[in-house]
Chains A and B, each alone.
Chain A
Amino acid sequence: KAGVTQTPRYLIKTRGQQVTLSCSPISGHRSVSWYQQTPGQGLQFLFEYFSETQRNKGNFPGRFSGRQFSNSRSEMNVSTLELGDSALYLCASSPSVGNTEAFFGQGTRLTVV
């Protein structure tokens, strides 16, 4: 069974631009969560989606948004990029709602210049 797939793996963007990251969960998994990992703040929860609905959201500004499609694939978008948005963005999938056994993808390394 294929794992969680995140695309692209690496991305370089300029301040002020926007970016969209993609995540394909493990087949049959319906819950997708996103995390931001930086050296200073560590791993921080962004949001969780289940059945195309956002169920939980972390303490991030409104520039960070996401969505989930009917096939459980998810995207996250960051608008008006800032230098501080440079991070590894990790996606995790879980079999169902209420199951926190999360399986992580390799991540997307975003660099904002």
Chain B
Amino acid sequence: AQSVTQPDIHITVSEGASLELRCNYSYGATPYLFWYVQSPGQGLQLLLKYFSGDTLVQGIKGFEAEFKRSQSSFNLRKPSVHWSDAAEYFCAVGDSNAGGTSYGKLTFGQGTILTVHP
């Protein structure tokens, strides 16, 4: 069964500093990988996704993530954090069958809470 690990429960950065949120996955087939962000009391917003191709993917709000198959990682990065980026971030892997066809099930990590200091 697939699993996702986000090693950092809580990260604090200063506004303007760079950010990297870690994500490691366990999955036997070609992974479909996602990063979502959730503000308090809100639903999840998709930041970016990786299905195949270029291992560096660009997302919304200036975020990017790099897929590294050898390390089973999909870390999220942002060069300069804004106070409005404070939220909880979730990495997720999409389910697929042996033939690589994806289904709708997502397996999420436990989330990383980002605090931004002025």
Contacts and interface: CB of A to CB of B under 8 A. Distances in A.
B50 to A, nearest CB: 11
A106 B42 contact: yes
B104 A104 contact: no
B104 A43 contact: no
Contacts of B41: 109
A6 to B, nearest CB: 8
Contact of A50 (B43, B90, B95, B104): B104
Q: How large is the interface on B (under 10, 10 to 19, 20 to 34, 35 or more residues)?
A: 20 to 34
Contacts of A102: 46, 104, 106
B104 A56 contact: yes
A87 interface: no
Contacts of B110: 42
A97 B102 CA distance: 8
Nearest to B43: A104
B25 to A, nearest CB: 14
B95 A56 contact: yes
Nearest to A58: B105
Given A56-B103, A106-B43, 18 more contacts: A31-B104, A33-B105, A43-B106, A43-B108, A43-B111, A56-B95, A58-B105, A98-B102, A98-B103, A99-B104, A100-B102, A100-B105, A102-B106, A104-B36, A104-B44, A105-B43, A107-B42, A109-B41
26 contacts: A31-B104, A33-B104, A33-B105, A35-B106, A43-B108, A48-B105, A50-B104, A55-B104, A56-B95, A56-B104, A92-B104, A97-B103, A98-B102, A99-B102, A99-B104, A100-B34, A100-B94, A100-B105, A101-B46, A102-B46, A102-B104, A103-B46, A104-B43, A104-B44, A104-B45, A107-B43
